[in-house]
Amino acid sequence: MRRIWLVACLTGCPADDPPACVDVDINCQELYEPTFDNVYTRTLQDTCGSQRVSCHSASGLAGGMSFETDQTAFDALSAGRVTGGDPSCSKMIVRITSVGESYQMPPGSPLSDPEQCALIKWVQNGANR
């Protein structure tokens, strides 16, 4: 019986709920200019939304989000997952900066600090398209 529980847990243990807000450094050094086009093409598209990764691809739709196109990604993030001007309390930022937590995004392999910084600064600057 314990083996069945372990297998079930490894394939989908309930994750802790992320906090509403986290501390972020808005004076960090970003990997690239923090525009949505760069955020999408340099991070979201391949790291989160490609068929290779599939969490937020057309077939994955984790959290009900598709990053298959830049428009679907922007729409998904704008639907309450980012708050322009407030990266500390934006759900996406909470998840990408919570390295080692069960709710970390992307799971297993965190974004680099400069890549996280680009997303933080995009949100800080208004999360605009």
Does any domain span residue 14? Answer: no
| Stated pTM of the model | 0.80
pLDDT digits (tens, 9 = 90+) for 17-47: 999 999 999 999 999 999 999 999 998 887 7
Q: In this structure, what are the phi and psi dihedrals at residue 48, rounded to the nearest 5 degrees? A: -120, -30
Does any domain span residue 7? Answer: no
Number of domains in the chain: 1
Does any domain span residue 120? Answer: yes
pLDDT digits (tens, 9 = 90+) for 42-80: 988 877 655 455 565 555 555 666 778 889 889 989 999
Residue span of the structural domain in which 24 resides: 19-124
Does any domain span residue 64? Answer: yes
Does any domain span residue 8? Answer: no
Does any domain span residue 4? Answer: no
pLDDT digits (tens, 9 = 90+) for 111-127: 999 999 999 999 999 99
How far apart are alpha carbons 82 and 86 in whole angstroms?
8
Residue 66 CB contacts under 8 Å (≥ 6 apart), including other chains: 49, 56, 57, 58, 60, 72, 73, 76
Does any domain span residue 2? Answer: no
- DSSP letters, 57-73, are STTT-GGG---SSHHHH
Does any domain span residue 9? Answer: no
Q: In this structure, what are the phi and psi dihedrals at residue 104, rounded to the nearest 5 degrees? A: -55, 140
H-assigned helices in 13-84 = 36-39, 70-78
Which two structure tokens, joined as six digits, stand for 77? 């993030």
